[in-house]
Amino acid sequence: MRIFISGPSGVGKSSVIKEILKRKPDTVLSVSYTTRAPRPGEHDGTDYFFVSRDTFEEMIEKGSFLEWANVHGHLYGTSLAWVESREADGFNVLFDIDVQGVIQAKAQGSKGCFIFLVPPDMEELSRRLNGRGTEDTRQLALRLENARHELTYWTIYDYLVVNDSLEKTIEDVSTIMEAQGLLKEEVIRKLPWLSTIA
């Protein structure tokens, strides 16, 4: 099962995903490739695969990405081989990708559940992004400006979750994932005997 989570920078995607992964041992995060530099505390292979622009462009040419996009001036992409190998091992895969990535994933027929995290309001989004203290003034302004545009894409998602209380958001995302796992398409994959009964 694939679970896509998007939302403007600073809304709380990483915070929510970190807790979901702790609670759901059958779920892994799709580790994306990026040309952005690691933030303090981020590790190569865990948060992202940090690569040069040349390496990223070679991967585009080879068709290695399920989707990729230029987000806030850096390149980000999802490795198709990486995702398929985790799925073959029986894991659910959670994607933290932007709106452009979701559009591509949908166009390629990726099935799954599409969740959009929304801030309580724009002032709170700005406070969170400032409070995180990981971006310089230029990146901060760019991310806030992009947020307004990204928020107009709420219509393409299945679920809108307002990240007001972090604990409630984690519960909501967890509930959505449990319901998704009970869809007949998901259940039947684990019950091959039932699909033989017409």
Choose among ligand 5GP, ligand ADP, none what residue 101 binds, the Cβ cut-off being 5 to 8 Å by kind: ligand 5GP
DSSP string spanning 106-169? HHTT--SEEEEEE-S-HHHHHHHHHHH--S-HHHHHHHHHHHHHHHGGGGG-SEEEE-SSHHHH
CB 116 within 8 A of CB 161: yes
The count of other CB atoms within 10 Å of the CB of residue 81 is: 10
Q: Is the dihedral of CA 177, 183, 189, 190 positive or negative?
A: positive
What six digits make up the tokens of 146?
């992009």
Q: How far is the CB of 25 from ligand ADP (least distance, A)?
A: 21
How far is it, in rounded angstroms, from Cα 102 to Cα 95? 9
Choose among ligand 5GP, ligand ADP, none what residue 60 binds, the Cβ cut-off being 5 to 8 Å by kind: none
Question: How many residues form the binding site for ligand ADP (CB under 6 A)?
Answer: 14
Asked if 128 touches ligand ADP (CB under 6 A), the answer is yes
Q: What is the CA radius of gyration of the chain?
A: 17
Asked if 6 touches ligand ADP (CB under 6 A), the answer is no
Which span (72-80, 81-89, 116-124, 184-192) binds ligand 5GP, by CB under 6 A? 72-80
Interface of this chain with ligand 5GP, residues 25 to 54, rule: CB under 6 A? 32, 36
Dihedral, CA atoms, 115, 80, 30, 53, nearest 10 degrees? -110
Give the nearest residue (CB) to ligand 5GP: 101
Which span (13-21, 34-42, 74-82, 100-108) binds ligand ADP, by CB under 6 A? 13-21
Asked if 10 touches ligand ADP (CB under 6 A), the answer is yes
The site string for ligand ADP over 46-75 (x = CB under 6 A, - otherwise) reads ------------------------------
Asked if 69 touches ligand 5GP (CB under 6 A), the answer is yes
